[in-house]
């Protein structure tokens, strides 16, 4: 069986519910440039993210098991996609809340609006005197604005993008507005293209078709530019019509609703647009598959929407982050990415019971590399005076690593985030942690002679002096090793090292 592609979107349960109003960009706020990212001037931008589990009024959660790993999947997803634009997300934790039991019941229902006896249009229907049993645990289409107002007052972390995670919602996801620090993403959308789409809204992107959540033919097809200022009535109005982005094609909307059923009349299974629709000036659209697949499109058919944005959209996001106060407030330092989100560094004395080592967020390619310094606590981010060797890797983590418990900072290593756009991250390793306050009593070194994990090994026992030798790793020949250390309290520590030829 092949991959069955959906011709129709399942329903409005998967579509975006972000609302925004028609308004023009502040003068001078955006460049409307479509220049690709320039690492020499487009510095890394780091945004704090905080998550909230939203429970029913009775405290239950109608979806599997909610855990920190679930929200970390979202952090990984965001970083894996947005890092190519030098945009990073710093995980700041999560909390839970139970929603009020007295929310008035409002349902999103198909209603007969033309009197022919056949329900044709979805509308919000009030049920006076009844309460919503699910509360915001399952956010309704008719509750979105009300939810954001409620959460903004009592469940919002300042200086962060807040992502609210109900177990269900009558939509795929929603940002509070275009440019916002609040997003609703239900549990099963946390690691999906909806994540990209709603973060795109939060960072200032409109739908490619319209400033609102409806359809619009106001953006004109032509891409033959005329000088600014842009006017809606100009032939060339791409910088100021609909999404205000020049390198996304004008389109009316790909997704249509007919008697409550959603479909894409002019998109085929290859995500090719084959319609003959025209803009308001009667000029036929020029739409390419990339436009249909754009993360901010509404082609909710054939799984067309992808993790894809144009250079112009990337420019707009980066400029919005630098100009919109809630996003400026949510911005943090690159150094924060080198701080653990959980656990602590051992400094001195016996290891505390239930000790949790320092954990780092997923979504990056990490290399924890050999380092040496007087660093019983990790060196400051800005202190790069220590010795380190990128060719000796104590721990390597792929950006797609799914066992988050393995992403810990090993002793005697510094953190290398292998992000090679610009030189802020790579090749400088940071925060050498080289602690000898808890000395192993003895140990052994196992060399894998074929440089793979098999039984062709050479084992060298080490006494106290040998295992505590600060240049132990340095003295090893290139190859694959396992170092085992035994401690007085009966605990052991294993480190796998791959040492490349210099």
Cβ at position 172, least distance to Zn ion in Å: 8
Give the interface segment with Zn ion, choosing from 8-16, 111-119, 219-227, 444-452 (CB under 5 A): 8-16
In the complex with Zn ion, the residue whose CB is nearer, 191 or 194, is 194
Closest CA to 13 of 123, 173, 149: 173
In the complex with Zn ion, the residue whose CB is nearer, 18 or 251, is 18
Q: Which of residues 34-93 bind Zn ion (CB under 5 A)?
A: none
18 binds Zn ion (CB under 5 A): yes
DSSP 230: P
Helix, strand or coil, per DSSP, at residue 368: strand
CA distance 317 to 37: 12
In the complex with Zn ion, the residue whose CB is nearer, 18 or 332, is 18
Give the interface segment with Zn ion, choosing from 15-23, 28-36, 136-144, 237-245 (CB under 5 A): 15-23
Where does residue 34 rank: exposed (0-12), middle (13-18), buried (19+ CB within 10 A)? middle
Give the interface segment with Zn ion, choosing from 9-17, 99-107, 181-189, 272-280 (CB under 5 A): 9-17
Cβ contacts of 280 within 8 Å, gap of 6 or more: 217, 218, 220
Closest CA to 105 of 125, 85, 79, 75: 125
Helix (H) or strand (E) holding 149: helix 144-154
In the complex with Zn ion, the residue whose CB is nearer, 82 or 341, is 82
In the complex with Zn ion, the residue whose CB is nearer, 16 or 432, is 16
CA distance 145 to 136: 12
Q: Which of residues 234-273 bind Zn ion (CB under 5 A)?
A: none
Q: Which of residues 109-128 bind Zn ion (CB under 5 A)?
A: none
Give the interface segment with Zn ion, choosing from 18-26, 277-285, 366-374, 399-407 (CB under 5 A): 18-26
216 binds Zn ion (CB under 5 A): no
Cβ contacts of 293 within 8 Å, gap of 6 or more: 271, 299, 304, 305, 306, 308
Cβ at position 214, least distance to Zn ion in Å: 11
Give the interface segment with Zn ion, choosing from 17-25, 114-122, 184-192, 425-433 (CB under 5 A): 17-25
Cβ at position 447, least distance to Zn ion in Å: 55
The 3 state secondary structure assigned to 256-274 is EEECCEEECCCECCCCCEC
Where does residue 466 rank: exposed (0-12), middle (13-18), buried (19+ CB within 10 A)? middle
Both structure tokens of 401: 């690593």
- Cβ contact 135:180 at 8 Å: no
In the complex with Zn ion, the residue whose CB is nearer, 18 or 53, is 18
Cβ at position 207, least distance to Zn ion in Å: 5
Cβ at position 43, least distance to Zn ion in Å: 28
In the complex with Zn ion, the residue whose CB is nearer, 48 or 297, is 297
Cβ at position 225, least distance to Zn ion in Å: 27
Both structure tokens of 473: 């790793």
Cβ at position 134, least distance to Zn ion in Å: 23
In the complex with Zn ion, the residue whose CB is nearer, 253 or 497, is 253
178 binds Zn ion (CB under 5 A): no
**How many angstroms separate the first and last alpha carbons of the chain?**
48
Residue whose CB is nearest to Zn ion in the complex, by number? 16
Cα–Cα distances in Å, from 309 out to 155, 254, 292?
31, 17, 11
DSSP 334: G
Closest CA to 468 of 411, 398, 383, 389: 411
> Using the rule CB under 5 A, which residue among 9, 12, 16, 411 binds Zn ion?
16
Give the interface segment with Zn ion, choosing from 16-24, 87-95, 251-259, 462-470 (CB under 5 A): 16-24
In the complex with Zn ion, the residue whose CB is nearer, 18 or 162, is 18
| Total of chain residues touching Zn ion, rule CB under 5 A | 2
In the complex with Zn ion, the residue whose CB is nearer, 17 or 151, is 17
**Which spans of this chain sit near Zn ion (rule: CB under 5 A)?**
16, 18
């Amino acid at each position: 069986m092949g991959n069955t592609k959906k011709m129709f979107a399942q329903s409005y349960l998967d579509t975006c519910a972000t609302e925004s109003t028609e308004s023009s960009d502040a003068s001078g706020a955006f460049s409307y440039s479509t220049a690709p990212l320039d690492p020499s001037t487009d510095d890394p931008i780091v945004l704090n993210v905080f998550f909230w589990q939203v429970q029913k009024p009775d405290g239950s959660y109608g979806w599997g098991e909610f855990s920190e790993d679930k929200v970390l999947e979202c952090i990984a997803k965001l970083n894996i996609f947005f890092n190519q634009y030098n945009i990073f997300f710093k995980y700041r934790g999560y909390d839970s809340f139970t929603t009020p039991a007295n929310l008035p019941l409002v349902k999103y229902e198909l209603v007969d609006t033309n009197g022919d006896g056949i329900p044709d249009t979805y509308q919000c229907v009030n049920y006076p005197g009844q309460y919503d049993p699910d509360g915001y645990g399952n956010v309704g289409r008719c509750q979105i604005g009300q939810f954001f107002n409620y959460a903004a007052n009592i469940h919002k972390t300042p200086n962060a993008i807040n992502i609210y995670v109900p177990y269900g919602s009558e939509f795929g996801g929603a940002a509070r507005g275009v440019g916002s620090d609040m997003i609703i993403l239900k549990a099963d959308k946390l690691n999906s293209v909806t994540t990209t789409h709603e973060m795109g809204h939060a960072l200032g992107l409109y739908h490619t078709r319209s400033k609102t959540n409806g359809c619009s033919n106001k953006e004109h097809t032509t891409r033959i530019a005329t000088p600014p200022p842009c006017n809606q009535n100009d032939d060339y109005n791409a910088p100021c019509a609909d999404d205000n982005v020049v390198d996304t094609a004008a389109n009316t909307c790909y997704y249509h609703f007919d008697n409550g059923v959603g479909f894409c009349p002019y998109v085929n299974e290859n995500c090719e647009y084959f319609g003959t629709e025209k803009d308001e000036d009667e000029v036929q659209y020029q739409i390419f598959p990339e436009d249909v697949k754009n993360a901010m499109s509404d082609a909710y058919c054939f799984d067309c929407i992808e993790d894809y944005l144009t250079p112009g959209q990337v420019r707009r996001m980066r400029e919005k982050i630098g100009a919109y106060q809630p996003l400026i407030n949510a911005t943090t330092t690159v150094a924060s990415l080198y701080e653990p989100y959980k656990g602590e560094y051992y400094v001195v004395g016996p290891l505390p019971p239930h000790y949790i080592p320092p954990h780092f967020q997923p979504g990056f390619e990490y290399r924890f590399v050999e380092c040496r310094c007087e660093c019983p606590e990790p060196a400051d981010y800005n202190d790069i005076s220590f010795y380190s060797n990128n060719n000796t890797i104590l721990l390597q983590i792929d950006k797609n690593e799914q066992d988050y418990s393995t992403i810990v900072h090993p002793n005697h290593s510094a953190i290398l985030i292998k992000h090679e756009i610009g030189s802020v991250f790579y090749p400088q390793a940071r925060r050498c942690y080289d602690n000898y306050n808890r000395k192993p009593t003895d140990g052994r070194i196992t060399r894998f002679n074929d440089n793979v994990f098999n039984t062709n090994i050479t084992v060298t026992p080490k006494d106290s002096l040998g295992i505590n030798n600060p240049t132990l790793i340095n003295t090893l020949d290139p190859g694959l090793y396992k170092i085992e250390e035994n401690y007085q309290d009966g605990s052991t520590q294993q480190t796998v090292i791959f040492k490349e030829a210099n």
